[in-house]
Amino acid sequence: MKGDGPIWALGTMSGTSLDGVDAAMILTDGVSIFEFGPTAYRPYSDAERAVLRSALGKWHDALIVPDAAEIIETAHAEVIFGFSGFEIVGFHGQTLAHEPGGRGTHQAGDGIFLAEQIGAPVAWDFRTADVGLGGQGAPLAPFYHFACAKYLGAKHPVAFLNMGGVGNITYVDPGFAAPEDRGALLAFDTGPANAPSNDLIQSRQGKSYDADGAIAAQGAPDQARVDQFMRDPYFSKVPPKSLDRNDFPYLADLVLGLSDADALATLLACSAAGVARAVEMLPKRPAEVLVTGGGRKNPVLMEAIQARVAARTVSIDERRLDGDMLEAQAFGYLAVRVARGLPTSAPSTTGVAASVGGGIVSQPKRKRA
Ligand SMILES: Nc1ncnc2c1ncn2[C@@H]1O[C@H](COP(=O)(O)OP(=O)(O)OP(=O)(O)O)[C@@H](O)[C@H]1O
Ligand SMILES: CC(=O)N[C@H]1[C@@H]2OC[C@@H](O2)[C@@H](O)[C@@H]1O[C@H](C)C(=O)O
């Protein structure tokens, strides 16, 4: 991986919704995006998902963690074997627990082992260094969002909103030269996105999610409960700040006694209210909020967000970016930055004291021909 010209990287992401592995190729020099390549998705089976789910929060459990790691490594190797022509893999792994001020941040999956399996260099462990230097270790997509804003030719501040299991927002001022420049970015987690709705519909109806918001559309949010939720201290905390998937465990109790439809509508309204509060915390009103992640496919959630946010919100696909693959691309992009010694986070994205290059690169003993 010599020189500083563009190379093809293969980014992979297993997000907090536990649905599967996204993989996407990207041609980048670690600064600019030159081209997007093929993508793939490898869903987890129900049995795999059950193991991963049972490992959440149990990052120290010597019985469950190896099982979870094996599922993660195997699923990633499977999807990676379908690609060719990349020089490095970005491997995020699966977050099992995230508590930057306490127990640390823990992603299952060993990049050394994966590098041997696939016979290619693997950049991984992206979050630990940032946390070690006092940062949140998340979100990490913001440096990539900066590159995306440049790629789109944005002239005015724009926001990227990822609605996955947890929500995160990145404010980008494209007038700056580099993402680590002071004022170029502000990023943080907005609150829950789809995880609480997924958990509710899983426990009440055995479905993994409310497709197209069809059930939520039949209900109405209970505003008093939404207001109560918005009194959680997280929403008045000054960013940068980040969340664990299960940081609002009381949400299930908050909607007790409501019908399935009203409960889902209330949970969606809680997610949307978190986004609205986040947009109020941005340095300037963005010209547009570009929505990425699975939540953009839920029209009820999209309407709830637009109703509360004083900026135009659009699905990122309308701006020619792939909202299903943005995070996978981000970890391909970050892999190249790690390999080239470029920073991956900054005070305005994770609260770290100074910009830091997180992640390590593991080389295989033998490269795949
Ligand atoms: N058609 C749809 N209708 C409603 N919701 C959908 C639809 N498609 C996806 N989703 C929601 O999006 C979720 C998956 O989103 P995504 O893949 O962005 O999450 P993730 O990457 O795992 O999470 P994170 O970004 O928090 O790590 C699903 O679990 C579901 O809740
Ligand atoms: C610790 C962790 O895995 N955090 C995830 C999670 O999912 C969304 C949000 O919370 C964000 O902080 C992050 O993921 C994206 C990819 C990020 O780091 O930018």
Of the pLDDT bands very low, low, confident and very high (cuts 50, 70, 90), residue 367 is confident
Helix (H, G, I), strand (E, B) or coil at 314: strand
Supply the CATH number for residue 267's domain.
Answer: 3.30.420.40
This prediction has a pTM of: 0.97
Give the DSSP letter of residue 238: P
Nearest in space to 27 (alpha carbons), one of 333, 353, 369, 242: 333
Do residues 186 and 251 share a domain? yes
Print burial letters for 64-83: b (CB count within 10 Å at least 16), e (below 16). bbebbbbbbbebbbebbeeb
Query: Does the residue 60 lie in any domain?
Result: yes
Query: What does the chain come to in residues?
Result: 369
Do residues 181 and 306 share a domain? yes
Of the pLDDT bands very low, low, confident and very high (cuts 50, 70, 90), residue 14 is very high
Question: Ligand 1 within 6 A of 323 CB?
Answer: no
Give the ligand 1 atom nearest the CA of 195: 31
pLDDT at 150 over 60: yes
Query: d(Cα 157, Cα 288) in Å, to the nearest integer?
Result: 8
Do residues 97 and 212 share a domain? no
**Probe target for ligand 1 pocket from 202, 298, 325, with the most ligand atoms within 8 Å of CB:** 298
pLDDT at 128 over 70: yes
Do residues 67 and 112 share a domain? yes
> Would you state the pLDDT for residue 3?
67
Do residues 207 and 180 share a domain? yes
Do residues 49 and 107 share a domain? yes
Burial class (CB in 10 A: 0-12, 13-18, 19+), 295: buried
Give the DSSP letter of residue 286: -
Nearest in space to 174 (alpha carbons), one of 82, 265, 286: 286
Query: Does the residue 260 lie in any domain?
Result: yes
Of the pLDDT bands very low, low, confident and very high (cuts 50, 70, 90), residue 366 is confident
ipTM of the complex: 0.97
Question: Ligand 2 within 6 A of 16 CB?
Answer: yes
Lowest mean pLDDT segment, chosen from 11-15, 61-65, 105-109: 61-65
Question: Ligand 2 within 6 A of 344 CB?
Answer: no
Overall average pLDDT of the 191-213 stretch:
96
Question: Ligand 2 within 6 A of 130 CB?
Answer: no
> Would you state the pLDDT for residue 20?
96
Question: Ligand 2 within 6 A of 105 CB?
Answer: yes
Average pLDDT score, the chain: 96
Higher pLDDT, 211 or 101: 211
What is the span of the domain harbouring residue 99?
A: 7-134+327-341+357-362
Give the whole-number percent of the chain exceeding pLDDT 90. Answer: 95
Of the pLDDT bands very low, low, confident and very high (cuts 50, 70, 90), residue 10 is very high
> Would you state the pLDDT for residue 59?
86
- Is the N-terminal amide bond of 240 cis, ω within 30° of 0? yes
Question: Ligand 1 within 6 A of 292 CB?
Answer: no
Q: What are the tokens at 344? A: 């991956």
Query: Which protein residue has the closest C-alpha to ligand 2 atom 11?
Result: 139
> Would you state the pLDDT for residue 200?
97
State how far Cα 142 lies from the chain centre: 10
Query: Which protein residue has the closest C-alpha to ligand 2 atom 12?
Result: 139
Query: Does the residue 350 lie in any domain?
Result: no
Do 271 and 192 touch, CB atoms closer than 8 A? yes
Do residues 206 and 116 share a domain? no
Do residues 114 and 222 share a domain? no
pLDDT at 369 over 70: no
> Would you state the pLDDT for residue 23?
98
Do residues 113 and 90 share a domain? yes
Query: Does the residue 349 lie in any domain?
Result: no
Number of CB atoms found within 10 A of residue 261's CB: 16
Do residues 260 and 199 share a domain? yes
Query: Does the residue 91 lie in any domain?
Result: yes
In DSSP notation, 137-198 reads: ----THHHHHHHHHHTT--S-EEEEEESSEEEEEEE-TTSSSTTSTTSEEEEEEEE-SHHHH
Overall average pLDDT of the 160-189 stretch:
97
Sheet containing 158-163: order of strands: 185-192, 166-172, 158-163, 288-292, 312-315
Overall average pLDDT of the 208-237 stretch:
98
Q: 């999807």: which residue's tokens?
A: 79
Q: Per residue in 322-346, pLDDT tens? A: 999 999 999 999 999 999 999 999 9
Query: Does the residue 112 lie in any domain?
Result: yes
Give the ligand 2 atom nearest the CA of 193: 8
3-class SS shares of the chain: helix, strand, coil, % to 5: 40, 20, 40
Query: Which protein residue has the closest C-alpha to ligand 2 atom 17?
Result: 139
Of the pLDDT bands very low, low, confident and very high (cuts 50, 70, 90), residue 272 is very high
Query: Which protein residue has the closest C-alpha to ligand 1 atom 9?
Result: 294
Tell how far the Cα of 302 is from the centroid of ligand 1, in angstroms: 13
pLDDT at 1 over 90: no
Do residues 168 and 296 share a domain? yes
> Would you state the pLDDT for residue 27?
98
Do residues 178 and 126 share a domain? no
Query: Does the residue 352 lie in any domain?
Result: no
Query: Does the residue 139 lie in any domain?
Result: no
Question: Ligand 2 within 6 A of 334 CB?
Answer: no
Contacts of 151-154 with CB under 8 Å at 24 or more apart are 151/32, 151/33, 152/319, 152/320, 152/321, 154/287
> Known binding site for ATP: residues?
15-22
Half-sphere exposure of 357 (CA within 13 A, CB side): 14
Question: Looking at this protein, which amino acid is placed at residue 243?
Answer: L
Helix (H, G, I), strand (E, B) or coil at 235: helix
Total number of domains constituting the chain? 2
